Structure 1
Amino acid sequence: MARPKQSATEITAMRERILNATFELLTQQGLQTLSVRAIAEQVGVSHMTLYTYFENRDAIFYALRERQRGKKHQRRAAQLQEAQSGDPCVVMREVLASYARLAEEHPRLYQFLWVHTAAHATQHHQEHRFACNLNHLAALIEIGVERGFFRQLDPDLAAATVFSFVNGPLILYHSGHLQDRDRLRAIEAEALATALTYLKKKEC
């Protein structure tokens, strides 16, 4: 018997259920062992049903990354407004610290976003994800420079520099190249302080 045709609203709702289940499992068990069958079981459908909504596992991961990016866009808009009306140093500190906080509270999610790359994510998509983060940092830096809080720096170069300061140690740790957690935390604190010192004109 043919399956009843679904409306666009029903399809969207099911895709959201699948992405929610994937996100929950991802934070619990990580990317490497997460299968379509496990996602289907979490949703409460057969694994073949998932292929009605997504081509394969990598397509699910790509859609999840895009959804997370959309949520970040909303937060970033609020951060830019706060930097315009408040203290850009405080906003920048929070943005840079959020990478380490994500890695600490949701290590598997951090690995998913910044360490592991799904086959479905092309080089263009990877570059786009980095560009979105760097563009946001550059916009904050430009505001800080214009308002006299940050030194006269090239915003794009400065954004790449501070991003590397704070994420370099995290990526090394979560890719297995740095294994001492206490050492990581010490480097994190030093990296954040160094990034802010590099930027600031006034005391942050």
Structure 2
Amino acid sequence: AAAAQGQADSPELRKAIRDDMINLEVMAQEAVKAGLDKNADVVQQVELAKQSVLVGAFVQDYAKNHPISEDQLKQEYDKLKAKLGNKEYNTRHILVETEAEAKDIIAQLGKKAKFEKLAAKSKDTGSAAQGGSLGWAVPGNFVPEFANALLNLKKGEYTKVPVQSQFGWHVIKLDDTRELKVPPFEEVKAQLQQRLQQQSIKKAIDELRAKAKIE
């Protein structure tokens, strides 16, 4: 195990590992003699530790027996490219509670009010402090209503009609666009594999939960 962690195998290392194992065994025996293995809290912790080991073994075994294929990885990569598109958008928005508030902001913008200043009223406090800036992002990162409105804007424009989403009413401004270069497949392959493996394990767990009877 130590060698697997990058430590060179040696007689000294083997002795240190053996000493550690002996120490653990001696202390465990003393704990049993003291009756600590019957302590309710200890019993619970031992059971949780056992479950944790079993869960780790299950995940490793499932991943081994349900490998992610190259085709699956390429399909996921194609979906990622489609979602990202070929452009990034530098966007601002002001989020308010009502359509009337959004219309009032649009009216003020029409009278040459500064978007950044009006953004101080935004419900989105994180971007409000940055003049409404959401930074560079792809439309796929936003809810559909927001993304669709954004795609219809030209550089420097803002929405002349309030945009409603699940979060409230938005006034959106497009500051700039730039070309997006999607990383090559080989560069993101490991991340895609990890993501798909996690999704596969989650699906398996959901199916097990649906069938399980836990009292």
TM-score (norm 1): 0.22
Q: Which has the larger radius of gyration?
A: 2
More strand by share: 2
Q: Which has the higher helix share?
A: 1
